[in-house]
Structure 1
Amino acid sequence: MKKYIYSIPLLIAILAGGGSCKKYLDVNHDPNNPTNVQESLILFPAEMGLTTAIAAGSLTSGNFTTIAVTDAYWTQQLAINQSPPQTDVYQLRPADVDQVFLTAYSTGLQNLLILDRKAIANKNYSYSVVAKVLTAYTLGIMTDHWGDIPWSKGMDGKLVVPYDKQEDVYKAMQAMLDTAIQESSLAPGEHTPGTDDAIFGGDMSKWVKFAYALKARYYIHLTKAPGYDPVAQSNLALAAAANAFASNNDEAKNTVYTGAPGQENPWYENILPSNGPVVMASTFVNSLKAMNDPRTSILITKGSDGTDSGRVIGTAAATDNTIYSVPNNFYAGSNATAFIFNYSEILFIQAEAAFRTSGAAAAQPYFVSGINSHMAKLGLDTTSAAVMAYVASRLPLTAGNAIQRIMEEKSVANFLNMENWNDWRRTGFPALTIVQSHYVGTIPRRYPYPLQEITANPQPQQSAAITDRVWWDAQ
């Protein structure tokens, strides 16, 4: 793991080399003592790096393969208008994920470890809370995509380290979040997050809610993990969710993208013609149309012929990119908010957990609230005839349809979110069929380990194919 351990100035230089990361990752620093800086100078670039290069997956930030975009391909929300083979037909090789793996460890985990240790030493506990929550968030992304990963011995600068089992990483994330919640009750210290916090602006009550939201997510992930009881996991998820986000105002999001050159929302950059281009996939567009979903015009643009049009993944590239719909301004405008963890997700976690513990009738109120919270977030009137008719068309939940409908609605509310791929692997919904011209024979269930990691830190887990399952994705 030595190659992933960088001082703050060096990792900033690496990540600032492309796209919108440059403006946001420039910070003042002492080049002779890079970690001897205030916590505020560590937090902001760490948050921006995670948001820009991981959660929103900027294709112009040096990440030629990004997690968020790839997951949206594989859940068939997005497509790339290029003839196959491409990532959307399941071509993902070890060298393709070198940069995104590096980014997660350098600008993410390593900087957050520095921040946490510094905050504890200075008794600035608000910063240690933030560092731990973001570390648990980043570890979740890494282990959900790669399975076993270097963690407990992976941050000490050694070249060759063993991988932690995914189950152990999950236990570590839950323990870390518990510690963050406990530390939130301590005196915050002399320095506290404020404008340097791009996610919550220093509102520590929301950081605690984020911690509980992650706990709920990670509990529900293990409903089919070997040795874990789905009812017990669901009860744990319900208990955590009760202390998580209570409204759209609480959710984790980055609102600092101004739209100025170098400060654009990453999804805006992703749909630029120079990046593929990235367009809507027919699977998602056709689903919106079939359901007469009132969110359609807010989620996606119309193609040049005036219709909602998605690309059939795996077919020959169209000569005119504009015939396809793309994500609309709410999610992909130059100054759009980048959403990290949505309030609606909490409601759908509660719906799933309530169904698993108490049945469809118990799940339905959460399910309806999940749909309505997303409608309201998009600016739609939840008492309008169109919205009420749509919600009514999704009812009632029954023992036979509950998980399917919860996941279908959750995937729309989590538009472009990495969690959709996790949910598909856990539940099989929304239903997907293998794309045309597929590079491998089934929809991928994990990422390959990076080539740089295979070369520098060879481990037996690295032989896994992208069609192999991670530990919690048991059959």
Structure 2
Amino acid sequence: MRENINQRIRKILKVGSIGLVGFFGAACTDDFDTMNKSKTALVVLTPAEYPKLFSQALSQGSYHPSYQTATNLFADLYAQYFATTTANFQSDRYFLNMSWINSHWNPIYTQVVPQLKTLFDTYDPQSAEYALASIWWAFSFHRVTDYYGPIPYFDAGIPAQSVKYDAQNLIYDDFFKRLDAAVAILKSKTAEKPFGTSDIIYSGDVNKWILFANTLRLRLALRISKVDPARAKTEAEAAVAAGVMTTVAHDAMMVRTAVSSADANGLSRIAAWGEFRMSATMESILKGYNDPRMAQFFQPAFGTKTYEGLRNGLDPAQLIQPLNTNDNNSNIGARWIRNTGTGSGWENLLAVKADIMHAAEAYFLRAEGALNGWNMGTGTAESFYNEGIRASMATWGYSGADVETYINGTTPPIAPGDSQNSPAVSNIPVKWGASEAVQREQIGTQKWLAVYPDGCEAWAEFRRTLYPKLYHVVNSVNTDVPNTAFIRRFPFIDSEKQNNGAAVTEAVKLLSGPDKASTPLWWDKN
């Protein structure tokens, strides 16, 4: 059913200006082919179809139909979860293919916005349905603004020839207000099941959505902690007081199916194409820590039967070296894809649930907040850190003595033994350190592991904290970002410069520098 809606929305939403999205979004309907007899008349939705719009917004907001170009070829690489193994993709060498970057922008403005605005126009602002739509609006847009900085936000979906861009600080302010208001509404609606099974994350469980919203609020509070520490403290303490995720039962996991590419798990779908493998950063950290999650995150390389990774940013000549080939490096774990025993033969597990947010992240955010001197509830920075590790291990099926041994581990990351003879990426152990500097790196490193495979969030947090320590790419083809630096943002997309040029010109003035990948975002103070 979601696929039918998705196909028909695509037929309708062939517009260049995002300002037209709100107008055309109302035309989505499961009965489009039979009902839309007129070429210009809009179709009236029935109440039975509104939950499907929410389902569509959830799916598109997580980028699974466009996962490769929206996430994998950029954020996943910049977070160094993976490295590319094909010379055809230069994004690992910091080349910005602007047509690919559209895949991060378009799903939000042509799919998520029209669906959610229709729901906002349909439901009472005090309803649980309205609250859930508002939470997902904040989730979807926080990923967009953290890619670009200023974006069309307050006027998104409004019919207009030009749509203004908004400053990131104002967008974040609205995120906090939306999440606070949504939770206030949901607290009196806990017996309801908004959107039912069309809610493909929590099946209408209001209590879990409250925890999700508060955890997102906590995430965003830490994001602005260097640029606006007072507001960050206020928002973080309010989020924790209202209740955040604490157990694996609270993890936000999105139902996926194998019915179509739009419904499938995006990471599973692309993993068989032989275009990426585990990064050397992952290998250095996971092996050094004897991390049991390595067996869930990745699979032994077909050629070596061991876990192996390669450096990011290798050039075509380096990629054909034996140590850098697909068969000699680790694909993602058997949760997503399984090797059939022939090296290049893979079985995609398209219906595996997609990771949206894990409870473990909340503990690491609270650990950092505690180091900042904030009231993060009962506990200390160390106890939150340890609980975060336990929660992440539980997400991946580990508990008991082995986890406690890991928490007390004193071995640091190791040299990965890659083609570049790279040293160990860091020298910190898992066991809670004695200095604040070490503790902050430990929190950042374990949070990076805990949010895997969400490269969007991992890349954002790396830019904010510079943790975990990452290798510099071996080669960069980007004149603005040499291989001694890291990409800080995406430039504004070409279609916006062509169709919304005046607004883009004004948006550049909201940046801290030119419209380049080297210009830090508002909250990025490193």
TM-score (norm 1): 0.86
Report how far residue 67 of structure 1 moved: 2.8
Report how far residue 311 of structure 1 moved: 2.1
Q: Tell me how far apart the structure 2 counterparts of residues 69 and 14 of structure 1 sit (CA, whole Å).
A: 28
Alignment of 1:229-308 (within 5 A): 229=229, 233-234=232-233, 236-242=235-241, 243-254=243-254, 256-259=255-258, 262=261, 263-273=263-273, 277-304=275-302, 305-308=304-307
Secondary structure of 1:79's aligned partner:
strand
Question: Is the 2:222–2:232 Cα contact (8 Å) retained in structure 1?
Answer: yes
Q: Tell me how far apart the structure 1 counterparts of residues 372 and 229 of structure 2 sit (CA, whole Å).
A: 10
Alignment of 1:459-470 (within 5 A): 459-460=504-505, 461-462=507-508, 464-470=515-521
Instruction: Extract unaligned runs of 5+ from structure 2.
Output: 15-27, 338-348, 410-429, 509-513
Secondary structure of 1:329's aligned partner:
coil
2:433 paired with 1:397: yes
Question: Is the 2:116–2:137 Cα contact (8 Å) retained in structure 1?
Answer: yes
Secondary structure of 1:66's aligned partner:
helix
Question: Is the 1:150–1:164 Cα contact (8 Å) retained in structure 2?
Answer: yes
Question: Is the 1:79–1:278 Cα contact (8 Å) retained in structure 2?
Answer: yes
Q: Tell me how far apart the structure 2 counterparts of residues 80 and 26 of structure 1 sit (CA, whole Å).
A: 39
What whole-Å deviation, never above 9, does each CA across 1:294-316 have from its counterpart, x for those lacking one? 21111110101111111222223
2:522 paired with 1:471: yes
Q: Tell me how far apart the structure 2 counterparts of residues 379 and 72 of structure 1 sit (CA, whole Å).
A: 23
Secondary structure of 2:356's aligned partner:
strand
Aligned amino acid, residue 519 of structure 2: D
Aligned amino acid, residue 152 of structure 1: F
| Larger of the two Rg values belongs to structure | 2
The equivalent of 2:19 in structure 1 is none
2:489 paired with 1:430: no
Question: Is the 1:270–1:278 Cα contact (8 Å) retained in structure 2?
Answer: no
What whole-Å deviation, never above 9, does each CA across 1:119-160 have from its counterpart, x for those lacking one? 128x7x121111100001011111111100011123211121
Q: Tell me how far apart the structure 1 counterparts of residues 382 and 190 of structure 2 sit (CA, whole Å).
A: 40
The equivalent of 2:352 in structure 1 is 336
Q: Select which of 349, 356, 375 maps to 2:393.
A: 375
Aligned amino acid, residue 472 of structure 1: W
Question: Is the 2:176–2:235 Cα contact (8 Å) retained in structure 1?
Answer: no
Question: Is the 1:132–1:177 Cα contact (8 Å) retained in structure 2?
Answer: yes
Report how far residue 248 of structure 1 moved: 1.1
- Structure 1 residues 190 and 204, CA, compared in 2 at 3 Å: closer, same or farther? closer
- Structure 1 residues 359 and 68, CA, compared in 2 at 3 Å: closer, same or farther? farther
Aligned amino acid, residue 201 of structure 2: I
Question: Is the 2:93–2:473 Cα contact (8 Å) retained in structure 1?
Answer: yes
Q: Tell me how far apart the structure 2 counterparts of residues 48 and 298 of structure 1 sit (CA, whole Å).
A: 24
- Structure 1 residues 95 and 173, CA, compared in 2 at 3 Å: closer, same or farther? same
The equivalent of 2:223 in structure 1 is 221
2:371 paired with 1:355: yes
Aligned amino acid, residue 207 of structure 1: W
- Structure 1 residues 355 and 95, CA, compared in 2 at 3 Å: closer, same or farther? same
Q: Tell me how far apart the structure 2 counterparts of residues 435 and 379 of structure 1 sit (CA, whole Å).
A: 33
The equivalent of 2:146 in structure 1 is 144
RMSD after superposition: 2.8
Report how far residue 472 of structure 1 moved: 0.8
Secondary structure of 2:355's aligned partner:
strand
Report how far residue 329 of structure 1 moved: 2.6
- Structure 1 residues 149 and 412, CA, compared in 2 at 3 Å: closer, same or farther? same
Aligned amino acid, residue 374 of structure 1: S
Q: Select which of 321, 327, 334 maps to 1:322.
A: 327
The equivalent of 1:73 in structure 2 is 77
Q: Tell me how far apart the structure 1 counterparts of residues 305 and 13 of structure 2 sit (CA, whole Å).
A: 39
Question: Is the 2:98–2:494 Cα contact (8 Å) retained in structure 1?
Answer: yes
Aligned amino acid, residue 194 of structure 1: G
- Structure 1 residues 10 and 260, CA, compared in 2 at 3 Å: closer, same or farther? closer
The equivalent of 1:87 in structure 2 is 91
Q: Tell me how far apart the structure 1 counterparts of residues 311 and 246 of structure 2 sit (CA, whole Å).
A: 38
Aligned amino acid, residue 428 of structure 1: L
The equivalent of 2:311 in structure 1 is 312
Question: Is the 1:27–1:45 Cα contact (8 Å) retained in structure 2?
Answer: no
Deviation larger for 348-357 or 30-39? 30-39
Deviation larger for 309-318 or 194-203? 309-318
Deviation larger for 392-401 or 438-447? 392-401
- Structure 1 residues 306 and 209, CA, compared in 2 at 3 Å: closer, same or farther? same
Aligned amino acid, residue 311 of structure 1: L
Question: Is the 1:133–1:211 Cα contact (8 Å) retained in structure 2?
Answer: yes
The equivalent of 1:22 in structure 2 is none
The equivalent of 2:419 in structure 1 is none
Report how far residue 402 of structure 1 moved: 1.0
Q: Tell me how far apart the structure 1 counterparts of residues 12 and 391 of structure 2 sit (CA, whole Å).
A: 39
Question: Is the 1:279–1:327 Cα contact (8 Å) retained in structure 2?
Answer: yes
The equivalent of 1:20 in structure 2 is none
Q: Tell me how far apart the structure 2 counterparts of residues 99 and 51 of structure 1 sit (CA, whole Å).
A: 12
Question: Is the 2:109–2:156 Cα contact (8 Å) retained in structure 1?
Answer: no
The equivalent of 2:25 in structure 1 is none
- Structure 1 residues 248 and 28, CA, compared in 2 at 3 Å: closer, same or farther? farther
Q: Tell me how far apart the structure 2 counterparts of residues 158 and 323 of structure 1 sit (CA, whole Å).
A: 52
The equivalent of 1:44 in structure 2 is 55
Deviation larger for 132-141 or 245-254? 245-254
Deviation larger for 311-320 or 202-211? 311-320
Question: Is the 2:196–2:204 Cα contact (8 Å) retained in structure 1?
Answer: yes
Q: Tell me how far apart the structure 2 counterparts of residues 206 and 218 of structure 1 sit (CA, whole Å).
A: 18
Alignment of 1:163-174 (within 5 A): 163-174=165-176
Report how far residue 94 of structure 1 moved: 3.0
Question: Is the 2:193–2:206 Cα contact (8 Å) retained in structure 1?
Answer: no
- Structure 1 residues 9 and 264, CA, compared in 2 at 3 Å: closer, same or farther? closer
Secondary structure of 2:296's aligned partner:
helix
Aligned amino acid, residue 499 of structure 2: A
Question: Is the 1:46–1:111 Cα contact (8 Å) retained in structure 2?
Answer: yes
Q: Tell me how far apart the structure 2 counterparts of residues 357 and 35 of structure 1 sit (CA, whole Å).
A: 53
Report how far residue 113 of structure 1 moved: 1.4
What whole-Å deviation, never above 9, does each CA across 1:207-231 have from its counterpart, x for those lacking one? 1211111111111101111xx126x
What whole-Å deviation, never above 9, does each CA across 1:182-234 have from its counterpart, x for those lacking one? 22245699993111110110111111211111111111101111xx126x624
Q: How many residues get paired? A: 444
- Structure 1 residues 430 and 37, CA, compared in 2 at 3 Å: closer, same or farther? same
Q: Select which of 377, 393, 416 maps to 2:453.
A: 416
Q: Tell me how far apart the structure 2 counterparts of residues 105 and 115 of structure 1 sit (CA, whole Å).
A: 15
What whole-Å deviation, never above 9, does each CA across 1:66-94 have from its counterpart, x for those lacking one? 13552110121111111276111111143
Deviation larger for 387-396 or 451-460? 387-396
